[in-house]
Amino acid sequence: MISLSTRSLVLPALLIAALPLAAQEVEGLPHTLAPHEQELIPAYRESRAGAGRGISTPPDFPVRTMAEWEEVQSLVITWTSYTGILKQIVREAKEECEVIIVCTNPSTVTSYLQNNQFGGPITDLNNITFLVAPFNSIWVRDFGPEVIYKNEVDSLFLLDWIYNRPRPQDDALSDALGTFKDIAVYSTTQAPYDLVHTGGNFMADGFGTAFSSKLVDFENGPQGQFNQTNKTPAQVDALMEQFMGIQPGRYIKMDELPFDNISHIDMHMKLLDEEHLLVGEFPVGVSDGPTLENNMAMIAANYNSVFGTPYELVRIPMVPSTGGNYPPSASYRTFANAIFINKLVLLPTYRTEYDTTGLRIWRESMPGYRVVGIDCDNSDQNIISASGAIHCITKTIGVADPLLIRHQRLQDTYETAIPYTVEAYIRHRSGIAQANVFWTTDTTQGYSALPMSDAGGNNWSAAIPAQPVGSVVYYYIEATSNSGKVQVRPIVAPAGWWRFRVLGAPTGIADLNGPSIVEVFPNPTSSLAMITLAGTGMEQVNVRLTDVMGREVMRIHEGKVPADGRLFVDLSYLPEAAYLLVVESKQGRSTHRVLKR
């Protein structure tokens, strides 16, 4: 159904009255701080400090912050600039959840949705809700509410930080959404709990771990401009624990990238699940690549996942301009600025020769999800030039009744005799009636169900029978609460699954033969190619390209290879010719022919 609300709050209007009209513009406000906005900060800071909106003291119960891949009830957008991109988001997202369009005129939005532009008319407006409320800009990811739960699954609340832009209508939208959805809002408004933060610079694993750049420390420190009281990094961590349940020592803060002018981590990385990080990759030594790699090395040296294991990196290329440039000489083109909407992933796309690789990596990493790209780099809707894309202009609200499943996926094994134990942490506010593991070695033949046993402490387990060498085992978990709610994980099961292989006994041949080149894709290529390697282990590996005379034309990689074995190379500057890819380590050498056309 189409739902229309014209509710708005009196308080935002009072705040706006204290500021010059320039801060109230709906069109044209950039993702960054606009030049004219600097002088507006003092008035904004004073008005924000006295607002008293929401619950301005920390929750008096244990708090859990939702991960983005969990079940959502609503997607929020603000209807302003880049309406062609917004229309495409609405078209895809309304198939998964309610879409709340915050706007000034629902009739105008409806007319636009039903016109022939950007994929044709959206004639079915079911699952679309219009909320008439004040706002300043399109960047709802940054100023919209975060989602927190009492006692992990008991009650849903929203959390509102101080927005790091002097845009009072944007800053007040969390309260408007809370009123509209009848969800209480906690607010880091009043000293000593005044905390400045932004949604594009935050991601969480749902179990007490979070990531940000050190922008959060800077903006709350002595040089910060938006809150009343300065905070040390330790005080920032304490507030994140009090309001969001981020555990001590689990708030991972990375150095800001030199050429990312907003310092938001969603422009170069994405947490895919509790232990996998999708990370953008620049050519070696280019742009923000060195700092980004140092950040990943810092994480590897100091932090493990919630399961106590190292994070696994999934590499995805950063995209250059048509002239081959990267920041600071070009826009920040990234495939990481994507959003989960239940069984859907929306991500930005740019040009076909790069999009095929970006989409392929996403689909391989998230089997069963509907992965859809939206062009963010065309002449009509070039949002990426404004330092943002799909994730930056969307915000999700989790369901009020989550059924939580946490599971560390099983790894490849040499075991052919002992069953494979599947363990999961499963919780619902009404309790869990039953849980099952569904497994198969052939998805076309369906799945077999294994009842899971309650091991106490919300932990459940079952054992998949041992399989012969060469088997690939696919599985997923399903749980039913005492109230009757059913949930699966992965959320796309059975179309999506976890899988592991049963390997033959190790022979040491791979070590003796050295690294092997599994694939170069695409090949031939006109620009970007993805190189997949195997047998590299923890060895230092040199990867280079030579011409037919054996002369080195490009040094691609030196050092350890990422866990997924993937490297990327941009050949756009090389002449059309045949080249030889050479991969060497102490254990041996492999080569592969690559054609540039």
Of the candidates 378, 398, 418, which is a domain's last residue? Answer: 398
Assigned domain for 315 exists: yes
Q: Distance (Å, rounded) from C-alpha 364 to C-alpha 206?
A: 23
Q: Rounded to whole angstroms, what are the CA distances from 400 to 74, 509, 576? A: 11, 53, 57
Going by the DSSP 8-state scheme, the letter that residue 359 receives in this structure is: H
Segments in 272-393 forming alpha helices (H): 289-302, 352-365
pLDDT at 7: 36
Residues 421 and 276 in one domain: no
Contact yes or no for 496/366 (Cβ under 8 A)? yes
Assigned domain for 507 exists: no
Assigned domain for 41 exists: yes
Contact yes or no for 204/277 (Cβ under 8 A)? no
Element (H, E) at 17: helix 10-17
Q: Distance (Å, rounded) from C-alpha 81 to C-alpha 166?
A: 19
pLDDT at 408: 95
Contacts for 170 with CB less than 8 Å, ≥ 6 apart: 78, 135, 136, 137, 139, 140, 143, 163
Residues 193 and 216 in one domain: yes
pLDDT at 46: 84
Query: What is the maximal distance between C-alpha atoms in the chain?
Result: 75
Assigned domain for 21 exists: yes
Q: Distance (Å, rounded) from C-alpha 255 to C-alpha 257?
A: 6
* Residue 534: CATH number of its domain: 2.60.40.1220
Taking each helix axis as running N to C, give the angle between helix 168-181 and helix 10-17, from 0 to 180 degrees, rounded to the nearest 10: 170
Instruction: For the chain, give the number of residues.
Output: 597
pLDDT at 503: 85
Q: Which domain holds residue 581?
A: 512-596
433: helix, strand or coil: strand
356: helix, strand or coil: helix
Q: Give how many domains the chain has, as a whole number.
A: 3
Going by the DSSP 8-state scheme, the letter that residue 384 receives in this structure is: G
Q: In what order do the strands lie in the sheet with 370-375?
A: 339-341, 344-349, 370-375
Assigned domain for 65 exists: yes
Residues 452 and 387 in one domain: no
Residues 568 and 450 in one domain: no
Residues 212 and 284 in one domain: yes
* Residue 454: CATH number of its domain: 2.60.40.10
* Residue 496: Cβ-neighbour burial (10 angstroms; 0-12, 13-18, 19+): middle
Q: Rounded to whole angstroms, what are the CA distances from 123 to 98, 115, 481? A: 16, 9, 37
279: helix, strand or coil: strand
Residues 212 and 77 in one domain: yes
Residues 449 and 561 in one domain: no
Contact yes or no for 23/137 (Cβ under 8 A)? no
Q: Rounded to whole angstroms, what are the CA distances from 507 to 250, 414, 415, 513? A: 39, 12, 15, 11
Residues 447 and 550 in one domain: no
Assigned domain for 316 exists: yes
Buried b (16+ CB within 10 A) or exposed e, 338-359: bbbbbbbbbbbbbbeebbbbbb
Return phi, psi of residue 383, to 5°.
-75, -25
Can you read off the two tokens belonging to residue 221? 């420190």
Q: Distance (Å, rounded) from C-alpha 359 to C-alpha 363?
A: 6
* Residue 242: CATH number of its domain: 3.75.10.10
Of the candidates 340, 363, 398, which is a domain's last residue? Answer: 398
Measured from the Cβ of residue 455, the count of other Cβ atoms closer than 10 Å reads: 12
Assigned domain for 198 exists: yes
Assigned domain for 506 exists: no
Of the candidates 337, 372, 398, which is a domain's last residue? Answer: 398
Q: Is 136 left (phi over 0), alpha (psi -120 to 50) or beta?
A: alpha
Can you read off the two tokens belonging to residue 377? 């780099």
Residues 453 and 535 in one domain: no
Q: Distance (Å, rounded) from C-alpha 496 to C-alpha 475?
A: 9
Residues 443 and 573 in one domain: no
Output the tens digit of pLDDT for each of the chain's 597 residues: 344 443 333 333 323 333 333 333 335 699 999 999 999 999 998 887 666 678 999 999 999 999 999 999 999 999 999 999 999 999 999 999 999 999 999 999 999 999 999 999 999 999 999 999 999 999 999 999 999 999 999 999 999 999 999 999 999 999 999 999 999 999 998 899 999 999 999 999 999 999 999 999 999 999 999 998 999 999 999 999 999 999 999 999 999 999 999 999 999 999 999 999 999 999 989 999 999 999 999 999 999 999 999 899 999 999 999 999 999 999 999 999 999 999 999 999 999 999 999 999 999 999 999 999 999 999 889 999 999 999 999 999 999 999 999 999 998 888 999 999 999 999 999 999 999 999 999 999 999 999 999 999 999 999 999 999 999 999 999 999 999 999 999 999 999 999 999 987 544 333 445 788 998 989 888 888 999 998 887 788 999 998 866 778 898 998 888 888 899 998 887 888 888 899 988 888 888 989 888
pLDDT at 597: 83
Residues 411 and 541 in one domain: no
Residues 53 and 111 in one domain: yes
